Amino acid sequence: MRIDVLSIFPSYFDGLTLSLLGRARGAGILQLQVHDLRDWTSDRHRTVDDTPYGGGAGMVMKPEPWALALDDVTRDSARPTIVFPSPAGERFTQATARDLSTREHLVFGCGRYEGIDERVFDYAAELGEVRLISLGDYVLNGGEVATMAMIEAIGRLVPGVVGNPESLVEESHEDGLLEYPSYTKPSIWRDRAVPEVLLSGNHARIAQWRRDQQIERTRLRRPDLLPDGDA
Ligand code: SAM
């Protein structure tokens, strides 16, 4: 999978050289390139923002650096998916991550200030599929942290990134429920015992217990995920 990131703070992404994603990059499974949007400006101050038409607080990202950058990073790409993180976008879920993990080429455009001139989204739609995606119902200072979260969630679903693919199947949100509780040695720690069933060696009982725990946990913590829960 090829991923291009456009940002005015490329060093945010230095952490993506670590751990599983770092290894996947080293192995050529993920080709991740982070670009400085200011490289597509032409003035002495490398300006990427300007005042909003109609007045109001804050600055808006100028369209031309975005258009030039998008042209360049999508030039050799048949049909890229261009993601703009935005608090006003569709909500990012495990299903979104799974969907995006099947794409050949993802481009992430990280907004800053009050956001990006709206015409950039129309322009980008001529170059590929455009998705405006929100990490959640809160406002971040920029799209970088949202992009990192999405790249991590998407990247670990790309075949070969996580060593044991079975570990992905049982995770929270994969089957619409939260994951069951996990324990490791010692079996008694600070007077707290591991549930007896997990020491029983009875695989059917363990599977049933884990399923019950998933349902109970989801009911208590995230009833909205259950079919009869509140949306
Ligand atoms: N004025 C915008 C609004 O009210 O919708 C918010 C702009 S925010 C300060 C700057 C940038 O942060 C956005 O362009 C977007 O890239 C990113 N951002 C902020 N909150 C986000 C969220 N919940 N999910 C994804 N990206 C977010």
Provide mean pLDDT across the span 195-219.
Answer: 97
Residues 149-195 have pLDDT tens digits of 999 999 999 998 888 878 787 777 888 899 999 999 999 999 999 99
CB of 135 within 6 A of ligand 1: the answer is yes
CB of 134 within 6 A of ligand 1: the answer is yes
Q: What residues pair up with 192 in beta bridges, in sequence order?
A: 189
Helices (H), 39-183: 63-74, 94-100, 119-125, 144-155, 166-169
- Report whether the peptide linkage leading into residue 186 is cis, meaning its omega lies within 30 degrees of zero: yes
CB of 138 within 6 A of ligand 1: the answer is yes
Give dist(CA 135, CA 64) in Å, integer.
26
Provide mean pLDDT across the span 85-95.
Answer: 97
Q: What residues pair up with 82 in beta bridges, in sequence order?
A: 107, 130
Check pLDDT > 90 for residue 108: yes
- Report if pTM > 0.75: yes
| Residues 180-205 as b or e (16 or more Cβ within 10 Å = b) | beeeeeeeeeeeeebeeebeeeeeee
Tokens (6 digits) for 228: 């009869």
For residue 116, which atom of ligand 1 is closest to its CA? 14
CB of 142 within 6 A of ligand 1: the answer is yes
Check pLDDT > 80 for residue 58: yes
DSSP string, 164-210: -THHHHTSTTTSSSPPPP---S-SEETTEEPPGGGGS--HHHHHHHH
Check pLDDT > 80 for residue 117: yes
Residues 21-49 have pLDDT tens digits of 888 888 899 999 999 999 999 999 999 99
Mean pLDDT estimate for the chain:
95
Provide mean pLDDT across the span 40-59.
Answer: 98
Which residue from 36, 163, 149, 162 is spatially nearest to 100, judged by alpha carbons?
149
pLDDT for 230: 55
Q: How confident is the model at residue 231 (pLDDT cuts 50, 70, 90)?
A: very low
% of the chain exceeding 70 in pLDDT: 99
CB of 109 within 6 A of ligand 1: the answer is no
Give dist(CA 5, CA 110) in Å, integer.
8
Distance 144 CA to ligand 1 centre (A): 10
